[in-house]
Amino acid sequence: MLWQEWPQQGLDAMGKLVADIIVETLQNAGVKHCYGIVGDTLNLIARSLEKSEIEWVSVRHEEAGAFAAQAEAQVADRLTAVAGSCGPGSLHFINGLFEANRNRAPVILIASQIIRDELGFDFIQEVDFKQVYSDCSVFCDMIHTPAQARRKTVIACQTALARRGVAVLIVPADISASVVDDSIPYAVHVARPVTRPNDADLAEIAEILNKSENVVLYGGSGCQGAHQEILAVADKLKAPIAHTSRAKDFLEFDNPYNIGMTGMLGNEAGYHALLDCDALLMLGADFAWRQFYPDKAKIVQVDIDPTHLGRRHPVTKGVVGDVKATMASLLPLLVERTDASFRSAYVKRYAKYRESERAKVAAGHDGSIPGSYLTKVISQHAAKDALFTADDGTPAAWAYRHIEMNGQRRIFASLLHGTMANGMPGGIGLQKAEPGRQVVCLAGDGGISMLFGDLMTVVAQELPIKIAVYDNGKLGFVEIEQKAEGMLDTFTKLKNPNFAGVARALGLWGETVSSADQLETAVKDWLAQPGPALLHVHVNPMQLVMPPFMQVEPAIGMALYSTRAILHGRGGDVWEMVKENFL
Ligand SMILES: Cc1ncc(C[n+]2csc(CCOP(=O)(O)OP(=O)(O)O)c2C)c(N)n1
Ligand SMILES: [Mg+2]
């Protein structure tokens, strides 16, 4: 029976509208916001959402809604919803849902679908969401009958929360409009067990570590909430602590043993410590770049996900556990050391690197503004508990190198999916989740323009987010990659508008800054705005992101690029590059 056919009296006795059942289940599972764009097949669910306590957030592009939802899910650690119309509407979420799933963010997509009678006949807007979304979800299924509605919505929510990822619930429009007996109390259960390796495994790990001379701890995003336990282990083993970029939020602050990151964004202390140690204790780290792992050291890996063990590099011993609980259980088994010379050497090396970086990160030649310097100034003036987002490209690289952490700040960048345009839309979700906190988005000129329309969402939702556009007039990161491969820059140029003017036209505060002597005042003004504000910064287009070491290939690549550029009459570009990066 469809809802329109119902007699108005005695509704409760006959059952419930499926759309209401779905929305009620989402609400009970803790959903506070649903991001999306309405459309025919979603209309009844929209009607139910409107009656519920869940707040609907209209976006201009569904992808932005998915970026926002996954940022909210991460910062608030709660299930967050997105919903779309059939076909293109629900298809548009895809890139943001890949981002969500890779970030282990519990997000549910209500993908409304054409009516069941038409499925399988290439009906207008028919898309097989099960096929499309199976690769970026932990749950992907359709509600096949009205009677399944509550049970399947429950299991979708529960899977997203328990397995930490995306659930896609496909809902044909005729199912939403059905009325069904709803007397069986299926409900979402979220278990948060404490997991640690068994005693024999712990003893084995302790033996490996106790027998090794120079131990390095290497922490990843699994270290969230385990600061104290990790430091206690490092203290006993006299081990320095290196970390992945995703663990910067959790391990950089109040950590006298910190030696920063390895990898392309890292520094030479983190990089060499990992290669020079005898034993590496990897904690909740699934760092993907194999060339940064040691070949001779014994590696112990602790991860909550068994599929991560040894998948990047062979390990001596892999165990499953929460970092916090595992470190607490391991601590009494470790032999206290007295010789801290290995650790001190790397801590000193890191301090030296930081000092020289600090000195280097300054206004450019001729008063230009390097992106690194802009980031440092933003870090100096942003709130103590600011939430940052950064677009893939140079803004993310500068954020991980130059935003100073303190245990309250967080950075959200697309480190695993590596997508452009995540920054500003992610800021929408962070500000919806944390209305009282300062949200600062570091955007590329390429990145911001990709989902530019959702600046209108920022205005419509009255979100006071602060957006800095790093305008280098190009797809800068790609251009650096091309140069490192010895190519001339190819298809990277961007013809940009005055972003501040566009922002003002859309209803944001907007200013442009081009010279370093005006930067600090401009950043302070921008951050002090009560409402949404966009600072358009002309950054130095020639700045390179330098790795912690110079590999042979990029060095040859840069030389080849320089030769080609000179041969093409572009010696000026080469001079600019050399001047801004090496002099
Ligand atoms: C959706 C998407 N398209 C393309 C890429 C490849 N890509 C990575 S960084 C980048 C350039 C980003 O340019 P911009 O936002 O201007 O930042 P910049 O590096 O110039 O600071 C591109 C094209 C990507 N990661 N994601
Ligand atoms: Mg750019």
Q: What is the pLDDT of residue 6?
A: 60
Q: What is the mean pLDDT of residues 316-335?
A: 98
Could you identify the atom of ligand 1 that is nearest to the CA of residue 95?
1
Q: Which of 61, 477, 496 for mutating ligand 1's site (highest number of atoms within 8 Å of CB)?
A: 477
> Ligand 1 pocket check: which of 97, 264, 391, 392 to mutate, most ligand atoms within 8 Å of Cβ?
392
Residue-wise pLDDT for 44-66, tens only, equals: 999 999 999 999 999 999 999 99
Mean pLDDT (the chain, rounded): 95
Q: Are 58 and 457 in contact (CB under 8 A)?
A: yes
In terms of residues, how long is the chain? 583
DSSP character string of 502-514:
HHHHHTSEEEEE-
Residue nearest atom 20 in ligand 1 by C-alpha distance:
476
The ligand whose atoms approach the alpha carbon of 443 most closely is: 1
| pLDDT > 60? residue 9 | no
- The percentage of the chain sitting over the pLDDT mark of 90, rounded to a whole number, equals 87
Measure the CA–CA gap between 43 and 238, rounded to whole angstroms.
61
Are the beta carbons of 309 and 301 closer than 8 angstroms?
yes
Exposure of 459 in the CB half-sphere (CA atoms within 13 A): 17
Give the pLDDT of residue 116. Answer: 98
Strand partners, 83: 36, 110
Strands 410-413 and 215-219: unpaired
Better-scored residue on pLDDT, 546 or 32: 32
Give the confidence band of 12 by pLDDT, cuts at 50, 70, 90: low
Residue 10 has pLDDT above 60, yes or no: no
What pLDDT sits at residue 118?
A: 97
Residue 120, pLDDT score:
97
From CA 297, how far away is CA 332, in angstroms rounded?
23
How far apart, in whole angstroms, are the C-alpha atoms of residue 165 and residue 564?
A: 46
- Of 326, 324, 300, 304, which is closest to residue 313 (Cα–Cα)? 300
Q: How high is the pLDDT of residue 14?
A: 74
Residue 53 structure tokens: 């306590």
Q: For position 574, what pLDDT does the model report?
A: 77
Residue with the bigger pLDDT between 355 and 559: it is 355
Pocket residue to mutate for ligand 1, from 67, 98, 402, 420, most atoms within 8 A of Cβ: 420
DSSP helix/strand/coil, 50: helix
| Distance from the alpha carbon of residue 204 to the mean position of ligand 2, in angstroms | 49
Q: Is the pLDDT of residue 426 over 90?
A: yes
How much is the pLDDT for 532? Answer: 98
The residues near 420 (Cβ < 8 Å, ≥ 6 apart) are 391, 392, 393, 414, 444, 446, 447, 450
Q: How confident is the model at residue 11 (pLDDT cuts 50, 70, 90)?
A: low
pLDDT of residue 265: 87
Alpha-carbon span 345 to 353, nearest angstrom: 12
Ligand 1 atom closest to the Cα of residue 475 is: 13
Tokens of 164: 């930490």
| Strand pairing report for 55-58 and 80-84 | unpaired
Report the separation in Å between the CA atom of 469 and the middle of ligand 2, taken as the mean of its atom positions.
9
Cα(421) to centroid(ligand 1), Å = 8
Residue 5: per-residue pLDDT:
66
What pLDDT sits at residue 559?
77
* Mean pLDDT, residues 322-343: 98
The pLDDT of residue 8 is 54
Q: What is the pTM of this model?
A: 0.95
Report the atom number in ligand 1 closest to the C-alpha of 472.
Answer: 20
pLDDT for residue 7 is more than 60: no
Euclidean distance between the first and final Cα of the chain, in Å? 76
Ligand that lies nearest to the alpha carbon of residue 543, given by its number in the listed order: 1
What is the reported pLDDT for 429?
Answer: 98
pLDDT of residue 191: 87
Indicate the SS3 state at residue 298.
Answer: strand
pLDDT at 560: 80
Q: Report the candidate in 507, 373, 394 with the shortest Cα–Cα distance to residue 445.
A: 394
Q: pLDDT per residue over 86-125, tens digit each? A: 999 999 999 999 999 999 999 999 999 999 999 999 999 9
Cα of 377 vs centre of ligand 2, distance in Å, is: 19
**Residue 348 phi/psi, 5° resolution?**
-65, -40
Q: Is 425 exposed, middle or buried (0-12, 13-18, 19+ CB in 10 A)?
A: buried
| CA pair distance 455, 536, nearest whole angstrom | 14
pLDDT (0 to 100) of residue 547 = 78
Q: Which atom of ligand 1 is nearest to the CA of 445?
A: 16
Q: Which atom of ligand 1 is nearest to the CA of 414?
A: 25
Report the candidate in 541, 572, 424 with the shortest Cα–Cα distance to residue 474: 541
At residue 269, the 3 state secondary structure works out as: helix
Contact (Cβ atoms closer than 8 angstroms) between residue 138 and residue 101: yes
In the beta sheet, which residues pair with residue 471?
538
Q: What is the DSSP secondary structure assignment for residue 390, as one 8-state letter?
A: E
Is residue 400 predicted with pLDDT exceeding 90? yes
φ, ψ for residue 145 (rounded to 5)? -135, 155
Q: What is the CA radius of gyration of the chain?
A: 26
Q: Which of 285, 283, 286, 287 is nearest to 324 (CA)?
A: 283
- Does the structure show a pLDDT above 90 at 576? no
CA distance 264 to 23: 44
Mean pLDDT of 63-82: 98
- Please report the pLDDT score of residue 74 as a whole number: 98
Strand partners, 172: 113
Question: What pLDDT, on a 0 to 100 scale, did the predictor assign at position 580?
Answer: 75
User: Residues within 5 Å of ion ligand 2 by Cβ?
Assistant: 444-446, 472, 476
What is the pLDDT at residue 527?
98
Q: What is the mean pLDDT of residues 292-317?
A: 96
Whether residue 334 has pLDDT greater than 60: yes
Q: How far is the CA of 448 from the centre of ligand 1 (A)?
A: 10
Q: How far is the CA of 479 from the centre of ligand 1 (A)?
A: 10
Q: How far apart are CA 124 and CA 377, in angstroms?
A: 52
Question: What is the b/e burial string over 282-320, where b = at least 16 CB atoms within 10 angstroms of the residue's CB?
Answer: bbbbbbeeeebbbeebbbbbbbbeeebbeebbebebbbb
CA of 414 to the centre of ligand 1 (A): 11
Q: How are strands ordered across the β-sheet holding 439-444?
A: 410-413, 387-390, 439-444, 466-471, 533-538, 509-513
Q: What is the pLDDT of residue 358?
A: 87
Token reading at 36: 């999306």
| Ligand 1 residue neighbourhood (C-beta within 6 Å) | 391-395, 418-420, 444-447, 470, 472, 474-478
Residue with tokens 């929408």: 428
Band (365; pLDDT cuts 50, 70, 90): confident
- CA–centroid distance, residue 459 to ligand 2 (Å): 24
Tokens of 358: 């600090």
**Nearest bound ligand to the CA of residue 420:** 1
Give the pLDDT mean for 163-176.
Answer: 98
* pLDDT higher than threshold 70 for residue 435: yes
CA–CA dist 2, 18 (Å, integer): 10
* Higher-pLDDT residue of 545, 82: 82
Q: Is the pLDDT of residue 131 over 80?
A: yes
Q: How much distance in Å is there from the Cα of 446 to the middle of ligand 1?
A: 6
The sign one gets for the Cα dihedral 316, 322, 325, 327 is: positive
Interior CA angle at 409 toward 405 and 414, to 5°? 90
